Each structure stands twice: as C-alpha cells, then as structure tokens.
Amino acid sequence: MRRRAATLLCALAFAAGGAQAQVVRSAEHAFHVVTVAEGLDHPWAVAFLPDGRMLVTERAGRMRLIRDGKVEPAPLGGLPPVTPHGQGGLMDVALRPAFRKNGLVYWSFAARGADGVGTEVARGRLAGNRFENVEVIFRQSPKGTSGRHFGSRLVFDRAGYLYVTLGDRGEMERAQRPDDHAGSVIRLHDDGSVPKDNPFAARPGWKPEKFTLGNRNIQGAALHPATGMLWTHEHGPQGGDEVNVIRAGVNYGWPVITYGVNYGTGTRIGEGTHKAGMAQPLHKWVPSIAPSGMAFYTGDRFARWRNDLFVGALRDAMLVRLRLEGERVVREERLLQGTLGRIRDVRSAPDGYLYLLTDAANGVLARLEPAQ
C-alpha cells in the first residue's frame, strides 16, 4: 500500500501542473523534476565534463554537447560510422578517469562487419567540437543479424580497468559459449588490451576478454561507492530482470536458469531457476520492469538517499530506488511512474543531483532537485 500511495502522489503532482513546479514526495525526500535540456532523439547516455558541459549520445549515431542547458546544434565530429540497427546504435559514453589530463572519452556503438552487426568500443580525445585520434579498441566477435540485445554499458573501476557489458544479441544460447563475446561482461585495459589475470585468458577456446558469462542483456552498470565492486542489472525475458554483483569467472545462468518465461506462451526457459555452479540474482523483478540505466547516489543534495541504488525502467516509465544492506536489497520504492517517460539512463552527477534521460523522439535530460 505504501508503494502504491507514493506512486499516486507522484502521478497527482505531475497531473496537477508542470513537472518543474510540482513537488514529488518519496519516502525519504521531496523533490522537483527540472528539465535541463530537451529535443534529444532517443538519447541513450549522459556523461559530465569537468567544466560543467555534458555529453549525450543519441541512438541514431550522434554525440551531442549540452552547454548551459542548451543542446549545441551540430553534433560532435570524428566518430567512426555507427550502424543503427534495432535496439543498437550509439549507446554508452564514459570519461577515462584521468580525463583532466588526457581528454579521452570512450563510447560503445553498433557497427557493421563481415558477419553482421555487433557492439564495438571506441575512444578519442575531445578537442573543441570533435574527437581526435579516434581508435576502435574492441570489436564484438562474432557479430550477428538480430536487432536485439546489444548491451551496452561502460564502467571504469578504481584500478582503471574498463568493463563492457554485452547482450546475447537475441540468440540466447550464445551467452553460454566460451568462444563468443555475446552475453558477457568484458574486461579490458584502457587501451583495449586484455589483462593477463582475466579469468579465461589462459583457457584454450575461450575469448580472453570475457570476465563473465550467462548474461542476457545488461543495460545498467555502476561501481558500489563503498566496496568498488561492479553492480549490474539485466533484462529478463517475460519476467526475471536481475540485479547482480559482477565477479570474475562467474556464470550468471542465462538461458539455463532464469525467473522469466517465454514471451507469448509463458513456457519455461532452460532448466528452472537454480543450478549448481550458476549464480542467483541479488534482486529480481517478476513481472519485468525493463531496467535501463543505473547509479548509486553519491551526492549530498539528498542525504537520506546516499548509497541507495537507482534504476531506470522502460516498461512502466519509472525510477526505482533500492535500499541496500551489504549485498541485500531491503526496500524498493517506485517513483515517477508514468509521468516523465521511459527512463533510459540514470546518473549521480558531480553537482550532487540525480539526472535522468528519457528514451523518446523528443527525449529529455531531467534533474531531480530537493524541494525546499
């Protein structure tokens, strides 16, 4: 009842007037939703530059620069060709941790190769309104013809390793194949080379970049602010969305085990929900919420949210807050349901606010601000 009441309060607040003026009351904080920029074409991710400007990717293949709440009219130049294909296109964007020194930006995108379309990662130095010295540092192999499940989030850990999340490309059996990048978390050095201590690097027949296997389609990833561990969420099929902590060499089960079922028929997938040697999720959603975007809140604007995990949801157009105790989810709160739009990305920003991107032809970059 408490969750339904919070959702109703959100809906009433937004229905009564403009989103920027109305107060939304959650269990811990009251806040406003402020539009920072709009007119974005299916934006996918946002990154924050040290000088206050923002980078936003658009799925069609454009990287936009936002300055003082205005979207620069010309997209940034220098990107390699992007192949918009189904769910794929230009996806995540991340700054190298030493960005202030080297100006390096990394992005994931769908690209065409001899065997179809797959996720790739490039990096380049931001110089004015374009990228220079651009190089592709990772290419998914094999690629594929499906338009589904490209992933793809990019996260640097505290040691400087780059993690890349890859979906199963809509061919579920690929997530269990050792010689296939699909359905995995990839771990690289920042130049794209393979760390010698990757769990499968020395195994014949395995892709050395693989850090995990058995992942369906991870579209949310973030480092835990206390432990530095990589947390992710992934889409299930009909039901079975998951939150996981990523550990070297772990098999997360897809499609052998899942809490979801086949679309349409509702029939079982794989062998059930448990199997020895395969990880159980920390948290799951049945029915699915279609999670995308994820951030631990680390700012000081919302003191009682600190270290909570926030997840965007496409299906019910909402923001989900998870309260944690160690690696347990002890409370879930659903906010903004059906009011802002399909939330594609969630970021805790250097200015202490929480930012959201909506997946729409007229997408919005919004900011949550405390209500006085």
* Residues known to be catalytic: 149
All residues at 6 or more sequence positions from 222 whose CB lies less than 8 Å from its CB, including other chains? 155, 230, 231, 294, 295, 296, 309
Residue type, 354: L
All residues at 6 or more sequence positions from 188 whose CB lies less than 8 Å from its CB, including other chains? 121, 137, 138, 161, 162, 163, 164, 194, 195, 209
What is the distance between the alpha carbons of residues 363 and 360, in angstroms, rounded to a whole number?
5
All residues at 6 or more sequence positions from 71 whose CB lies less than 8 Å from its CB, including other chains? 37, 39, 40, 56, 64, 65
For residue 248, report the phi and psi dihedrals to the nearest 5 degrees.
-55, 130
What is the distance between the alpha carbons of residues 46 and 92, in angstroms, rounded to a whole number?
8
CA 242 distance to own-chain centroid: 13
Count of alpha carbons within 13 angstroms of residue 299, beta-carbon side: 17
What is the distance between the alpha carbons of residues 269 and 239, in angstroms, rounded to a whole number?
11
What is the distance between the alpha carbons of residues 151 and 289, in angstroms, rounded to a whole number?
16
